[in-house]
Chains A and B, each alone.
Chain A
Amino acid sequence: MNRPTLLLTSAALLVGLQGCARQTMYSWGDYDEALYAHYKNPQDRENFVASLDAVIRDATQRGEKVPPGCFAEYGYALMEEGRHDDAIAYFQRERDQWPESRVFMEKMIRNAEQKRAKTPSTPAKGPAGATRRS
């Protein structure tokens, strides 16, 4: 098989396989790539948090559902930064969009409230969802 034929065949196979396997319901952006990069290099956390932010923004702008777990994962990132009010807002969004997450998210909300009570002087960094990276 010569090279162009091989390429064409590969492309056709790819399209064929995607046709029956890959019709994604959600727009994941580079969520999995960024999580992988974060595990590969823990200093790469910023990138992972930014990708969660992007997934949430994209879905919200298009009026689509934010993929399961993304609000919660983003809320947890905010909690780690001491932004407890913002974290709670994202845990609530996860709970409201995905009723299956209620038990877990209510635990996370209580968790964040307790942490907030211990550190009352969290500096204000703008409302939830405010642009942190342009």
Chain B
Amino acid sequence: MSRHARISAAAAILALLSACATAPRKDYSKFVAAQPRAILIVPVVNKTVNVDAADYFLSTLPIPVAERGYYVFPVNLVKRLLEDDGLADAALVHGADPGRLCALFGADAALYVSIEKWEAKYLVVTTQVNVEFAYVLKDGKTGETIWTDHEAMTYQPDSGGGGIIGAMVAAAVTKASPNYMPLARQANWKALSFPGPGFPAGPYRPEFGKDLGADTRL
């Protein structure tokens, strides 16, 4: 092994080991400038053929966002009211003006999530589950995008390739009926974790305002 390769390997192992402590950061200047306290999670857009996925996935979103220290509007109530207002199609909600949408609820920012993949592949001896999500947070005042993330996760039992995620959801997926929910929850926790790709601490967390340091672009 060349010196370069050894250093690369060591770096990769280090990165893996400290994945939850020092993931690369993105530019948080817009997020910080927007100072969101209250986040409106709107119904999920489903780009897959699995028709029920949107509602199922919506149920996994409020807890990880609230646990980051933000006020989260009641997702089911919000969904029901939007439906009553003729916005039963989530694509219409995602296409609406974020400023007007946020003003309707008194929200500082709106979180738009799309499901890009939600599928089970039935292989010979096993079932492989794939999920993929795109997350976008928009400022309720300017309508500008202040944060985005993208997560793709795969789980395949008995493959030996599931790694940490595989170990965590091993019990949840059976060949008979693949359960997407543990993978979906895992994707959300990963998307929202900080340090990591997620939201810096919100006003209800003790480390609010202290976890970004002086520079918002690290």
Name A residues whose Cβ lies closer than 8 Å to a Cβ of B.
Answer: 9-10, 13-14, 17, 20-22, 24-26, 28, 31-32, 35-36, 38-40, 48, 67-70, 72-73, 76, 98, 100-104, 108
Contacts and interface: CB of A to CB of B under 8 A. Distances in A.
Interface stretch (B54-62, B112-120, B145-153): B54-62
Contacts of B67: 24-26
A35 B77 CA distance: 11
Contacts of B11: none
Contacts of B21: 20
Interface string B42-77: 000000000010011011101100110111111111
B160 to A, nearest CB: 10
B52 A32 contact: no
Nearest to B181: A36
Contacts of B167: 9-10, 13-14
B66 A67 contact: yes
Given A21-B189, A68-B71, A100 B62 contact: no
A101 B164 contact: no
B77 A73 contact: yes
Contacts of A20: 20-21
25 contacts: A10-B167, A10-B170, A17-B20, A20-B21, A22-B189, A25-B66, A25-B204, A31-B63, A32-B60, A32-B62, A35-B76, A38-B76, A48-B76, A67-B66, A68-B71, A68-B73, A69-B62, A69-B72, A69-B73, A69-B75, A73-B76, A76-B80, A101-B106, A102-B106, A104-B106
B38 A73 contact: no
B88 interface: no
A33 B22 CA distance: 31
Interface of B: 20-21, 37-38, 52, 55-56, 58-60, 62-63, 66-67, 69-77, 80, 105-108, 164, 167-168, 170, 181, 185, 189, 193, 204-205
A101 B20 contact: no
Nearest to B37: A100
Contacts of B52: 39-40
A20 to B, nearest CB: 4
A18 B46 CA distance: 29
B38 A101 contact: yes
B68 to A, nearest CB: 9
B139 to A, nearest CB: 15
Nearest to B41: A69
Contacts of B185: 32
Contact of A13 (B69, B80, B168): B168
B62 to A, nearest CB: 6
A103 B20 contact: no
Given A68-B66, A72-B77, A101-B38, A36 B56 contact: yes
Contacts of A102: 106
Contacts of B55: 39
